Structure 1
């Protein structure tokens, strides 16, 4: 760290084997190091050691499951997944050479600073382990094929997100803190075209940014996801010619959903994001009381004067060739245009 004068560096701790990853807790009270031998070292803000655990230990954690004789999975309660979970097919494994997998280590903290997760390459592929802030191992992820490097813990604590390559699709898998996969977000591209490089939750847990690299056009992209009625919508799509060095949501509550993006050429962008409802005025009898919902490259339209349906269902769907970033309805009451008319703005601002 820097000394009191802010100029001369001061050595506060030493790691002989080198570091793979490092991450401070949200309140800056605990720091986690993962060294090149895959040891997880936790220290307090004064750099005093708290605990040290090896990721290579074949243990589940302090919160290991115990069988209490509740019978087979087919007879158990399955919550929001419903009865279909009883007959849910297992994921088909994808043949992967462990030597070709990315060996990078990732750390992500839960917003309250009580738990953190470490993603790493294990003996059967990529996996993750969940630790308490004291450095005690709590949970280990179930064996899942195709997990990738990016890792992001939703601030509300509900899900741990990580990309996953399956046999017929590319998804962001959502795990519970106990290491069990809960559900997934299917991505609108395949792994050969685009690679997920980062996952960034807004501080209010409402928005998930999926940061990708598009191999065909050598562009860096940001997909903004929100959820409603268990459906994930792509609300915005941004594309950059320069490599993205950093994406960070502002930690200040007063700043709302303020996003900071740093590009390789030194360009620094700050933007603020808020939710808005795109709808017609609904004042005239001829007005269909239309509501438009953006979902990737399509607009979900519902005429509430004629039908009422819960999302993600809609009256009808309009598809576009590119991702849609904006919808606007005509609002000039004295103009000659029908108030049901609207326009869309795609990712190329056309």
Structure 2
């Protein structure tokens, strides 16, 4: 058993840019001007693209998303809720009513018709069919079968008589057919049809070989003509013109693609730098002065106005409100006393309710430590 720990193989390193195949002078000569031209062309496009992205995000967050939410709520209020109400309070009750009406008008009569009309009628028809089948079976067994057996016995007897009579005539007819039909047909096949068929087959075989040789020659001529006139020039054109041109175009396309990628990334960094610069400039020109004005000017002024004007005004308003409430309460109490005096002058003093004797003891009659009776048995 191997007791040594196997060493882990080092992970494969991705090929770096230095491990690529050596590039020729044509690639190096094409790469630099292509990258310069592509960078000059791509930077404005990338900056315009980033500007459009920022504008699109701002438009989406400030206009389109609130507008979409409003349209969603409006569509829900105008379409979904009416449809739900229509389904719940109109279509569902109407469907239930139609289902009940269909059950009453169609299903119940159909069940009654099946149960009390069609089922007895079908049972009667089945009983008639069974009775008719039994009658036909009795006729077949008792009448048709004996008649058939009698007819078969009669036919066998007639056949035996005819066979006894026609043995001699059958031998004569067979000899005549052999000498008048079979022998002439065999001679015609042996001495006429077979030689003629062999001759026709030999002629067809020779014609086929001749046509094969003819078409082979024509095909060889056409093959070499097409090879000389079409294939060899096309091969030379592909090998010496199109393939080198394709390689050059592939190199140019690859370099243009790489240049577009580098230019797009560089333009993105430039656009990010410009955006940060413009954001910083906007912050220092507008945001920071506004913030300073808010902190250094508006906030102290607001605090002073609050302490000098708003709070005293609030205290005065609270005191005025308190005095007003006290005056209103006093007026209500005076009006209530006046109404009570007027009622007393007009209707007299109201009757006092009579005291009702209760079994509950009063406070003074409660049980004490020196008494021998309880509060409940005091009376």
Output the TM-score relative to the length of structure 2.
0.11
Structure whose residues are more often helix by fraction = 2
TM-score of the aligned structures, taking structure 1 as reference length: 0.11
Bigger Cα Rg: 2
Structure with more of its chain in strand, by fraction: 1
